[in-house]
Chain A
Amino acid sequence: SQKIEQNSEALNIQEGKTATLTCNYTNYSPAYLQWYRQDPGRGPVFLLLIRENEKEKRKERLKVTFDTTLKQSLFHITASQPADSATYLCALLSGGSYIPTFGRGTSLIVHP
C-alpha cells in the first residue's frame, strides 16, 4: 500500500541554522509533491509545490528537493527563526488526481 513517512520526532534546532525535514514515500509514483505548514489550532497552509521533473524549487528561505529515484523530498529552511516553529506536512499527488495524500508531519522547534 502507499505509504508516506515523515519523522514523527520533533526537530529541534538553534536559530540561524538550516532546518532539513524529510518526506519519504513507497509504492507511489507522484507527479507533484507539496509542502504545507501547520500551526497549532490552525489549518495547514500551502508553501511550495515541486513537480516530478524538477530537482529543486526555492522560495525565499525555503528550498525543496525531489528525488524520484530515492523516493524522497527534502525541505530546507535556511537562517531559521523561532517564528518558523510549526509542523510541516508533505503531500503527494498523482498525475491527473485532485486529491493529495498527506504525510503526518514533522514538528520543527527553533530555539532562540
Chain B
Amino acid sequence: DAGVIQSPRHEVTEMGQEVTLRCKPISGHNSLFWYRQTMMRGLELLIYFNNNVPIDDSGMPEDRFSAKMPNASFSTLKIQPSEPRDSAVYFCASSLGGQDNQPQHFGDGTRLSIL
C-alpha cells in the first residue's frame, strides 16, 4: 500500500513568497495531521483534520499559515508570506479515526528553507 505522500520534498524560496505544501493521506484514513519539526522545538502539531474538517488548529503559528482539506485524499498547508523563521521540516500524517490509540503514519516531509 502507498504510504502518506508529500510534495515537494524540498523547497527553497525567498522571504515573502507564498509556499504551498501538499499531502495525500493513506486511503481510508479519516484523520490528518500537519506537524512542523525543528531542532529547537521538536515535532509540533500545527493542525488536525477529522473527516476533512479542521478540529484543532491551535498550533497554527499565526495568520500567515492556513490549511485546507478539500477532500479525503488531499490536503494543503500554505504559508503566505513566508519568513526565515518558518524554515523547518513539515510532516503530514494520517491515521484511522474512531479509536484514540491509533498510530500515526507519517510522510517523509517537506524540508522548507526560507532565505
Identify the stretch in B42-50, B63-71, B76-84 within 8 Å (CB) of chain A at 4 or more residues: B42-50
Main secondary structure of the interface of A (DSSP, over half): loop
Q: Which residues of A contact B107 (CB under 8 A)?
A: 43
Q: Which residues of A contact B95 (CB under 8 A)?
A: 98
State A104–B106 Cα separation when bound (angstroms).
Answer: 16
Task: Assess the A98–B105 pair: CB atoms within 8 A.
Answer: no
Query: Count the A residues whose beta carbon is within 8 Å of the partner chain — how many?
Result: 25
A42 and B108 in contact, given A31-B100, A98-B31, A98-B100 (Cβ under 8 angstroms): yes
Which of B61-115 touch A at CB < 8 Å? 91, 93, 95, 97, 100-109
State A101–B59 Cα separation when bound (angstroms).
Answer: 12
Would you call B14 an interface residue if the criterion is a C-beta within 8 Å of the partner chain's C-beta atoms? no
Main secondary structure of the interface of B (DSSP, over half): strand
State A41–B108 Cα separation when bound (angstroms).
Answer: 7
What is the minimal beta-carbon distance from B30 to any residue of chain A, in angstroms? 10
A49 and B103 in contact, given A98-B48, A99-B56, A102-B42 (Cβ under 8 angstroms): yes
A46 and B103 in contact, given A98-B31, A99-B56 (Cβ under 8 angstroms): yes
Would you call A93 an interface residue if the criterion is a C-beta within 8 Å of the partner chain's C-beta atoms? yes
Would you call B26 an interface residue if the criterion is a C-beta within 8 Å of the partner chain's C-beta atoms? no
Task: Assess the A44–B42 pair: CB atoms within 8 A.
Answer: no
Task: Assess the A96–B100 pair: CB atoms within 8 A.
Answer: yes
Q: Which residues of A contact B106 (CB under 8 A)?
A: 43-45
> CB within 8 Å of B: which residues of A?
31-32, 34, 41-46, 49, 51, 89, 93-105
> CB within 8 Å of A: which residues of B?
4, 31, 33, 41-43, 45, 48, 50, 56, 91, 93, 95, 97, 100-109
**Between-chain CB contacts (< 8 Å), 6 pairs:** A43-B108, A44-B106, A49-B101, A93-B101, A99-B48, A104-B41
